Structure 1
Amino acid sequence: MSLLKTAAAAALVLGASAATAQSVPTSGATVIVPAYGQVTAPNDQAVATFAIEEQDKDKSAAASRVNQKMKQGLEILKKEDPQAQLKTQGYYTYPVYPEEPPRPMTSPQKPRVPTAWRVGQYVQLTTTSLGGLPKTVSSAQKILTLNGIHFGLSPAATRKLEDQRIAATYKNLNERIASIANAMGRPLGDAQLDTIDFEGSGNYARGEVAAAAPMMARSFAKDAAQEVAEPSFEPGETTLDMRVVGKVKFK
């Protein structure tokens, strides 16, 4: 067989193979289609944690100062942001012991005697008044210490964003089904969406970011008359995503 005939025969074989591959029947086929949606919105809520701590040889004296100054701090927060939600938490009292050099194991162990007591308390402020937040924090810092702040979405904004997230995910699912039908050489009308499984047969949604546990405040009470410059904050934005799996049957 000549080289030309051999090449022609090979071309016929390849052509037949391609035709066979393209003619794989898809009637009654079931296709699993994953899709994704993502939406972003500016944060509209802040959760700030304030703290107060006192240390004294007299435990009662330390506790009394903490109670008094926390009360003053709460009054400031309520005055500066009447709509904010406040929650006191994390009241603690523990002894402070002197540092001692290590003793030999054979030496008798004497009971440790505390030289002072450390008392503290936290309060959490949740607000959507982001414009007035710097002034609120500055005023509170005359008495309290800002222990941490976290920006996120309010429940109302989250519900609104949830509608957009579902719509974006469902749109992506339809776009993928159309692309798959086109790749199979089938009209979109032959595809029937049999099942829609949001979260894709499992919990694919990202959990809310857990607020970090407040660290122990080591700053002591400030002079109530001392002015504190207003801090600067950038609330940022939050992105929510979703996964959906669709089960599609072709006629």
Structure 2
Amino acid sequence: MLKTKHMLACLGLMLAASFAAAQAVQTSGTLVIVPATGEVKHANDEANLTFMIEEQDKDKAAAASRVNQKMKQGMEILKRADPQAVLSTHGYYTYAVYPDEQPQPRSNGKLRQPSGWRVGQYLEMKTGNLQSLPKTVAAAQRVLALNGLRFGLSEATAKQLDAQRIDATYKNLTERIASIAKAMGRNPADAVLDTVDFEGSGNYAPQAFAAKTMRAAVADAAPVEEPSFEPGETTLDMRVVGKVRFR
């Protein structure tokens, strides 16, 4: 019994000594690296759409003519429905279509002949008129196929939010510095901010998407019900690293 009490007493003394040593650790001149983040959210106010048209015919010229005509019609519809929209065409393609045949011996020497041609083109549209977007898309879908849709923030809105994003990030940095000072047993006023390194994370950058080739079944004059869209919101974030030295 006496031996057990002696061991417990020794253990208590050792813990007390360790605690005292920890309390005696000097933090003057300590350099602390403090990461922090900040973010702001805002409703999306811009839409980027991809339309396409594709035609297939035994006559390459006939397929190309129908594509050219329908793309022109689709652009005219979009311009009437949304005069402020920015349109740009891209990705014009022409592919040979071959029949499904059994493999022939190489000694045959005959070249495969195409059974037809597939011709298509893509159209990009950028607009801030989200209120009329369903109606605009439905009108265009009478001629063109909707191949992609992405909502985001306009450049003007993103610039306006930049100051708020910086404020939120710096506020988080000062809060973390105060918490670290408290954990070290120091007064936050003793912390001297030596360096602040703002780094844009890039996570909010919209990812470029490739338009996939697909066959569009288009009815020239058939009415199309309006689609439903929810623009959602975008989060802009920022990362900062601060170097803090305690006096």
Letter in 2 for 1:60: A
The answer as to whether partners of 2:46 and 2:127 remain within 8 angstroms in 1 is yes
- The CA distance in 2 between the partners of 1:3 and 1:60, in whole Å, is 101
Q: Is the 8 A contact 1:54 1:120 kept in 2?
A: yes
Amino acid at match of 2:238: M
SS at match of 1:75: helix
Shift in alpha-carbon separation, 1:4–1:96, aligned structure 2, 3 A? closer
Aligned-partner Cα distance in 1 for 2:141–2:185: 67
Report what 1:83 is aligned to.
Answer: 84
Aligned equivalents of 1:241, 1:173: Cα separation in 2: 14
| Corresponding letter in the other structure for 1:20 | A
**What secondary structure is seen at the aligned counterpart in 2 of 1:142?**
coil
Judged with a 3 Å threshold, the aligned counterparts in structure 2 of structure 1 residues 3 and 55 are, in CA distance, closer, same or farther, namely closer
Using the TM superposition, give the Cα deviation of residue 178 of structure 1 relative to its aligned residue in structure 2, in angstroms: 0.3
Structure 2 Cα separation of the partners of residues 247 and 145 of structure 1: 54
- Cα deviation for residue 236 of structure 1 reads 1.3
* Percent of aligned pairs sharing the same letter: 61
User: Is residue 164 of structure 1 aligned with residue 164 of structure 2?
Assistant: yes
Alignment check: 8 A CA contact 1:137 1:230 kept: yes
Q: Which runs of 5+ in 2 are unaligned?
A: none
SS of the residue 2:223 aligns to? coil
Q: TM-score, normalised by structure 1?
A: 0.92
Q: Identify which of 219, 237, 243 aligns with 1:241.
A: 237
TM-fit CA distance, 1:91: 0.6
2:37 alignment counterpart: 36
Residues in 1 aligned to 2:125 and 2:29: alpha-carbon distance in whole angstroms: 58
Map of 2:11 onto structure 1? 10
* SS of 2:123 mapped into structure 1: strand
Aligned length: 246
Whichever residue aligns with residue 173 of structure 1, its letter is: L
Choose the corresponding residue for 2:210, options 213, 218, 240.
Answer: 213
CA distance in 2, matches of 1:118, 1:6: 89
Task: Map residues 36-115 of structure 1 onto 2, 5 A cutoff.
Answer: 36-105=37-106, 107-115=107-115
**RMSD value over aligned CA atoms?**
1.7
Amino acid at match of 2:206: V
Uncovered stretches (5+) of structure 1, i.e. residues with no partner: none
What is the alpha-carbon distance in structure 2 between the residues aligned to residue 120 and residue 48 of structure 1? 17
Which has the larger displacement, 87-96 or 211-220?
211-220
**Secondary structure class of the residue paired with 1:171:** helix
Write out per-residue CA displacement over residues 166-195 of structure 1, whole angstroms, 9 at most, x where no aligned residue: 211111100000011111111111110000
Contact 2:51-2:148 at 8 Å conserved across structures: yes
Q: Provide the C-alpha distance between the structure 2 equivalents of 1:116 and 1:164, rounded to a whole number of angstroms.
A: 57
Question: Is residue 229 of structure 1 aligned with residue 225 of structure 2?
Answer: yes
Alignment partner, residue 147 of structure 1: 147
Query: Is the CA contact 1:194–1:247 (under 8 Å) kept in the aligned structure 2?
Result: yes
- In structure 2, distance between residues paired with 1:78 and 1:108: 54
Q: Residues 194 and 245 of structure 2 are in contact (CA less than 8 Å); yes or no, is this contact kept in structure 1?
A: yes
Secondary structure class of the residue paired with 2:231: coil
State the distance in 1 between where 2:9 and 2:216 align. 88
Residue of structure 1 in register with 2:134 after alignment: 134
Once residues 38 and 14 of structure 1 are traced to their aligned partners in structure 2, the CA distance between those partners, rounded to angstroms, is: 44
C-alpha separation in 2, matches of 1:33 and 1:138 = 51
